Amino acid sequence: MPTITGFQDTTPSPVPTASGQKRRHGDFATFTEALDYAAEGSAGYNIYSGRGVLLEALPYSLLREQAREMARRLLTLGLQAGDRVGLIAESDGDFARIFFGCQYAGLVATPMPLPVAFGGRETYVGTIRGMIETADVSAIVVPDIIAGWTDDIIAGFDLKFGGSPAQLMELPAADRPLPTIKPDDLSYLQFSSGSTRFPKGVCVTQRSGMANAHSISRDGLQVRETGDRCVSWLPLYHDMGLVGFFLTPMACQLTVDLLPTREFARRPHVWLDLMSRNKGTLSYSPSFGYDLCSRRSGAADIDLSSWRVAGIGGDMIRPHILESFAERFASQGFDARAFVASYGMAEATLAISFAPLNVGLRTDTIDLRRLETEGVAHPCNDPSHLLRTFVLCGEVLPGHEIEVRGANGSILPERHVGTIYARGPSLMSGYFRLPKESAEALSADGWLNTGDLGYMLDNQVVVTGRAKDLIIINGRNIWPQDLEWSAENEIDGLRNHDVAVFSVEENREEKVVALVHCRATTPEARTTLSERVSSVFRRHGVDATIILLPPHSLPQTSSGKLTRAKAKTMLLAGAFNRLDENTPSAA
């Protein structure tokens, strides 16, 4: 039940799909203006448990009222315009009330992750404390699920508030007018998904946030006048969940059914069941979410025929996983043409490009060896060659620009791999209080160095990987994803994100290392797994040291992406519990 409003009902009725008002596609100056308009209709958020039970129905009309009251409570603390308020983000009504309370109070909401992707309490608390320090927050709200960790999180910080939503609600509401919110005011700080030891807060203004919501809803998703409804399990501390399925739907008056991120991996079928029950039309996931659903047979008596945009983002797109999902659920009405690839990042608020709707994935199969040696994506379908299939991630959103540049800064021709740059009204104003890092990422004329590598094909962007992950050996540019994907796809028992590949320096030479999750219980099976992984890599022309680890050892970001940089740091620090032939099984 909701903790701070008294808006409780043992059998709440869900907020309906229809808003009953003229659709506006995020054409507002601020998020508060957008919520003011959404409150005139009947759409809103439905908060579900991990088992798919409706816990709270929160129409935008009620949310606006509660958020404005929350704004006055926050101002009672003595917070000033522009102060940061940390929100450890549970997917519930409390997060919505406090986030929008910050918007109405002129405060900067700062979402932070729940402990779902970190290795234990100590590591998690250290990460949150790093974010508190980086963002210089004046208050932090900790949900009840980790209330026992609050003292460790806030120890030593000079905060005006550090406690639960219920404790925040006990404060009196200031009896004074709320400030006027301006387009260039900071709306929130978004910690990029790779932010761990040295977190960087992306500054998103009201103007840039609204610009992206407008482009996503009007041009990317092409939200319809009637009938669209969102379903999401994505974390609200990550840009894809926060912008894509929390802020954008509100800005275009859509109802959203929210599931808790922390329970998704245990019951992924609940996502599909909710899509079926509520006739959801719009939902997104990284590839691993579709993979989980394909491998688990919990969702049987469902109807996915209403699902018109099945988006993929947040990680490199794996076509074979999506093909398996489409085949698995075709008999339940899922249409593979619903798949929509896209590209974006927190530094661009969220989205940069969208693939066309209603056509499914478009792929490009290329000669991998020529890509590695020439930096050019030559099309090839000869099975005697080493091939790689990439997904086209669409044309840049209107009002935005994409360029692929070479090392000398020149714009590269089609199919030539280089660094992807982006420019447009959705871009961040910079990293919070990090002028050096901001200047490195953003040029004076507004171009963002995304840090991604890719190429252009038919005006669509194709992402090949992160520049910092690239392995360079003997003049070859080797993408670790190619090795990881080959092993996971070809070796029985390996799953998505079971392999992490990177290079380390040894005796002044680059050496490739592969960390592999091992579920084998016998020495013979473990030896076989190592040999099979080595064999796959040798076919790529790569000799690697294979290190077997217990399942769930490899670190992930808050959005579920494998983080090779952290895995490398952990290996060099001796942090992994390695398996050898005689180690008892940890599966």
- What are 499-549's pLDDT values in tens digits? 999 988 777 677 899 999 999 889 999 999 999 999 999 988 899 999 999
Q: CATH topology of 31-285 equal to that of 472-572?
A: no
| Lowest-confidence region among 157-161, 280-284, 552-556 | 552-556
**What percentage of the chain carries pLDDT values higher than 70?**
94
Question: CA 9, 13, 18 angle in degrees (round to 5)?
Answer: 145
pLDDT of 142 > 90? The answer is yes
For 261-274, what is each residue's pLDDT tens digit?
Answer: 989 988 999 999 99
CATH topology of domain 31-285: Rossmann fold (3.40.50)
341-468 is a CATH 1.10.10.10 domain: no
pLDDT number for residue 198: 66
The pLDDT of residue 104 is above 50: yes
Q: What integer pLDDT is reported at residue 76 of this predicted model?
A: 95
8 A C-beta contact, residue 505 and residue 568 = no
In this prediction, residue 556 carries a pLDDT of 79
User: What confidence score (pLDDT) does residue 7 get?
Assistant: 45
Whole-prediction pTM value?
A: 0.88
Q: What is the dihedral of CA 192, 193, 197, 201, to 10 degrees?
A: 20
User: What pLDDT, on the 0 to 100 scale, is given for residue 197?
Assistant: 53
Specify the CATH number of the domain 472-572: 3.30.300.30
In whole angstroms, what is the distance from residue 42 CA to residue 17 CA?
8
282, 228 contact by CB (below 8 A): yes
Handedness of CA 403, 406, 411, 416 (dihedral sign): negative
Higher pLDDT, 146 or 1: 146
Interior angle at CA 293, CA 494 and CA 584, nearest 5: 35
CA distances 189 to 261, 284, 370, 480, Å, are 20, 22, 41, 31
Angle formed by the axes of helices 287-295 and 269-277, nearest 10° = 90
3 state SS for 490-504: HCCCCCCCCEEEEEE
Asked whether residue 351 carries a pLDDT value surpassing 80, the answer given is yes
At 468, the pLDDT band (50, 70, 90 cuts) reads confident
pLDDT over 80 at 1, yes or no: no
pLDDT tens digits, 43-99 = 999 999 999 999 999 999 999 999 999 999 999 999 999 999 999 999 999 999 999
pLDDT at res. 2: 46
User: What are the tens digits of pLDDT across the range 391-440?
Assistant: 999 999 999 999 999 999 999 999 999 999 999 999 999 999 999 999 99
Locate the domains of the chain by residue range.
31-285, 341-468, 472-572
The answer to which of 298-302, 348-352, 451-455 has the lowest mean pLDDT is 298-302
Tell me the average pLDDT across 348-356: 97
> Does residue 587 register a pLDDT over 50?
no
3-state secondary structure of 269: helix
**pLDDT tens column, 21-37:** 999 999 999 999 999 99
Over residues 427-452, the pLDDT tens digits come to 999 999 999 999 999 999 999 999 99
Confidence of residue 308 (pLDDT cuts 50, 70, 90): very high
CB atoms within 10 A of CB 542: 19
pLDDT at residue 22, as a whole number: 97
User: How far, in Å, CA of 513 to CA of 193, rounded?
Assistant: 24
Mean pLDDT over each residue of the chain, to the nearest integer: 92
Instruction: Provide mean pLDDT across the span 192-206.
Output: 76
> Mean pLDDT, to the nearest integer, of 333-340?
98
At 117, the pLDDT band (50, 70, 90 cuts) reads: very low
pLDDT recorded at residue 354: 98
C-alpha span between 21 and 41 (Å, rounded):
6
Residue type, 184: D
Give the other-Cβ count within 10 Å of 587's Cβ: 13
Which pLDDT belongs to residue 5?
44
- What are the tokens at 6? 């008294």
Per-residue pLDDT band at 560 (split at 50, 70, 90): low
